[in-house]
Structure 1
Amino acid sequence: MATVHATTMAPTKLELLTGWLPRQPWYRGTGTPELSRAGGFRLDDPAGEVGIELMLVTDGSGAEARTYFVPVTYRGAALDEAADGLVGTSEHGVLGTRWIYDAEHDPVATAQLLAFVAGAVEAQHQSRSDTRDPTVGRSWSGDGEPRTVKLVRVPEPGQPGTATGAVEVDWTRPDGSAARGVVAVVR
């Protein structure tokens, strides 16, 4: 299981996402986002090289707060084939420079998300080392192994999965209440 370091990152994840998020076609806000953490989980890279964090963040800058699913990966070197998905770089207090990618562009993250849906790996707590997160739900009713995943970037509370497989998570709304919905559909 991956170690979650209690350290600093400069710039922080939310600072990087504040600049990156408005450039995404699925972003529904206007202007500069005001981001806060809303939930998430981690998946382990079996090789121990790539950090995989599947975050939910809430943008409170508009008239109505909106939650986004922004899974990212952390790497110790640039991944040329994922250049289009580069969120930015950050200095990690323990590990040094990290290249942070939108996980949709990272083959390790995609493989681990499919393995999670298939039941081959477990979801890990977002901020605690060596701790499973049993609240992350998965379903798979297909024949064989899941092959493709589509991220639900703007999840809606209570929206049931209609695909052959799905990943469901909890997040916290700006008013402090809990929400749960699908963040990925799998076929």
Structure 2
Amino acid sequence: MALMHRATLRPTKLELLSAWLPGRPWFRGEGGADVQRVAGYRFDDPAGDVGIETILVRAGSGPVHQVPLTYRDAPLDGAGSWLVGTCEHSALGRRWVYDACGDPVYAAALAGAILAGTGQAEEYFEVDGRREHRALSMGIVADGAGQSDVPKVGSLDRVDDGDPTRIVTDSVELSVVRLVGGHTGLGGARLTGTWDGQPAALPLAYASPR
């Protein structure tokens, strides 16, 4: 379950991404265009410490990009090269926003979603002491869920920041599609997604135990 706050962010997530995305080697958006949100989904951190959100965005007339993010209340040791930026959250204070491909908490959540079919987190707003459900903006399905045991992810051994971005951990190898609509033939169990205007499922990520 993802508990959301009705709060303001300065700068906003899309403002952070508008500044950060053009420097990525896999970015193919329209130069100088504002980044627009297309859809998104969240995973749960079992420890409840790290926010995990994947946003699908488009810059101008460019393709849809997949950007997984993690939100932390303190810097992640050794992950400076994966920092998207910091923002001030009106309810939670300063948040460190990372490209989640460099965060082991995201790797563990993605492995569980693909190999065990844990699915995306239900989203709720806290309003006057009550929880209000927020409708999901897209659906995700794990094609190969249950076909293998879900290994415990302890550390990241290597991350290759291309398209797909390959995350090699001590127990599983993950591939995260950056330009959504390509990379249909990668090996391993697969996570696919659909959203408004995209009824046919497209690959989002792949996982293979090591």
For normalisation by structure 2, the TM-score amounts to 0.76
Per-residue deviation at 1:171? 3.6
Which of 147, 150, 168 is matched with 1:145 structurally?
150
Equivalent residue, structure 2, for 1:28? 28
**Residue type of the partner of 2:198?**
A
Equivalent residue, structure 2, for 1:135? 139
CA distance in 1 between partners of 2:36 and 2:123 (Å): 15
- After TM superposition, the structure 1 = structure 2 runs for residues 91-110 of structure 1, keeping only pairs within 5 Å, are 91-110=88-107
Equivalent residue, structure 2, for 1:52? 52
Per-residue deviation at 1:6? 1.5
Aligned length: 179
The structure-2 alpha-carbon separation of the partners of 1:88 and 1:126, relative to structure 1 and needing over 3 Å to count, comes to farther
Matching of residue 78 in structure 1 with residue 75 in structure 2: yes
The structure-2 alpha-carbon separation of the partners of 1:86 and 1:183, relative to structure 1 and needing over 3 Å to count, comes to same
Contact kept, 8 Å, 1:161 with 1:182, in 2: the verdict is no
SS in 1 for 2:110: helix
CA RMSD of aligned residues (A): 2.5
The structure-2 alpha-carbon separation of the partners of 1:130 and 1:117, relative to structure 1 and needing over 3 Å to count, comes to farther
Contact kept, 8 Å, 2:30 with 2:59, in 1: the verdict is no
SS in 2 for 1:3: strand
Provide structure 1 residue ranges, at least 5 long, that are not aligned to the other structure. none
For normalisation by structure 1, the TM-score amounts to 0.85
SS in 1 for 2:16: helix
What stretches of structure 1 move > 4 A for 4+ residues in a row? 125-134, 159-162
Matching of residue 178 in structure 1 with residue 198 in structure 2: yes
The structure-2 alpha-carbon separation of the partners of 1:42 and 1:163, relative to structure 1 and needing over 3 Å to count, comes to same
State the Cα deviation string for residues 58-80 of structure 1 (Å, max 9, x = none).
111xxx33110001000000002
State the Cα deviation string for residues 26-51 of structure 1 (Å, max 9, x = none).
01135323211111100010111100
Matching of residue 89 in structure 1 with residue 109 in structure 2: no
CA distance in 1 between partners of 2:22 and 2:204 (Å): 19
Equivalent residue, structure 2, for 1:66? 63
CA distance in 2 between partners of 1:5 and 1:117 (Å): 28
The structure-2 alpha-carbon separation of the partners of 1:126 and 1:14, relative to structure 1 and needing over 3 Å to count, comes to farther
- Between stretches 119-128 and 75-84, larger displacement belongs to 119-128
Which of 143, 161, 169 is matched with 2:193 structurally?
169
**Residue type of the partner of 2:139?**
T
Contact kept, 8 Å, 1:37 with 1:58, in 2: the verdict is yes
**Residue type of the partner of 2:175?**
K
